[in-house]
């Protein structure tokens, strides 16, 4: 098997969304102080595609993504933040919380284009070696499986769950937070980027980025 890298093709959101994400992350860390902070090695983002790609062909991956962007009307890419939700991510008593987003039709078209462009360079069977890790850190099975099965489980209408991850929190606290009113807001992309992933799908290492004109 070839050496593989776990990548996320991400939309980096606008400054307003980053402020919302950091505020929610601070609240989650009040509940679970050991959870990760959003910072330069845990970049707030909207995942569009995750794949294991052959490390030797990363330059070809970047070129394919750049070609897809060149044929995309990026001004039509938009989302609506609608709720805080969480999922079980294998941490006892905690959930991984996200700002849930409603994507525009153009976002789904963009995702389909990216998948077609990147597929020739993908391979299954990624291991912990494909990820960024801190000393002594182990990549969770949930993380390995999520990247492995991102296609087809997160592709297209009715399947793709667009979101911004904001951290871990206790389940009781999450139930309280999710029952509170949520002030919806619009989300706009500032850039598209490729990151090497870490645990929980965190965007750990920037590999390539493209600015989206405002």
Those residues whose C-beta lies under 8 Å from the C-beta of residue 96, and which sit 6 or more positions away, are 86, 87, 88, 89, 165, 167, 168, 200
- Backbone φ and ψ of 28, nearest 5°: -65, -35
- 90 vs 171 pLDDT, higher one: 171
**Domains with residue ranges and CATH for the chain:** 4-211 (3.90.1140.10)
Reported as a single tens digit per residue, the pLDDT across 99-142 is 999 999 999 999 999 999 999 999 999 999 999 999 999 999 99
Q: Which two tokens stand for residue 84?
A: 């805080």
CA distances from 158 to 57, 66, 173, 199 (A): 31, 27, 28, 26
Total-model pTM: 0.89
Mean pLDDT of 147-154: 97
Reported as a single tens digit per residue, the pLDDT across 41-70 is 788 889 999 999 999 999 999 999 999 999
| Pairing mode, strands 203-211 and 189-197 | antiparallel
Mean pLDDT of the chain: 94
């Amino acid at each position: 098997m070839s050496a593989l890298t776990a990548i996320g093709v991400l939309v980096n959101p606008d400054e307003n969304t980053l402020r919302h994400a950091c505020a929610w992350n601070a609240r989650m860390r009040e509940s679970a102080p050991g959870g990760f902070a959003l910072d330069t090695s845990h970049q707030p983002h909207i995942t569009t595609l995750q794949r294991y790609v052959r490390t030797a062909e990363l330059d070809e991956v970047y070129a394919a993504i750049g070609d897809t962007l060149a044929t995309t009307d990026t001004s039509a890419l938009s989302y609506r933040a609608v709720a805080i939700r969480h999922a079980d991510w294998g941490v006892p008593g905690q959930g991984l919380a996200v700002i849930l987003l409603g994507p525009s039709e153009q976002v789904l078209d963009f995702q389909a284009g990216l998948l077609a462009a990147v597929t020739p360079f993908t391979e299954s069977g990624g291991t912990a070696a494909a990820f960024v890790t801190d000393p002594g850190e182990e990549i969770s099975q949930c993380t390995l499986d999520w990247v492995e099965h991102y296609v087809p489980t997160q592709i297209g209408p009715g399947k793709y769950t667009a979101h911004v991850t904001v951290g871990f929190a206790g389940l009781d606290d999450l139930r309280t937070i999710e029952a509170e009113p949520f002030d919806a807001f619009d989300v706009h992309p500032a850039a598209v980027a490729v990151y090497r992933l870490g645990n929980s799908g965190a965007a750990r290492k920037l590999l390539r980025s493209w600015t989206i004109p405002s």
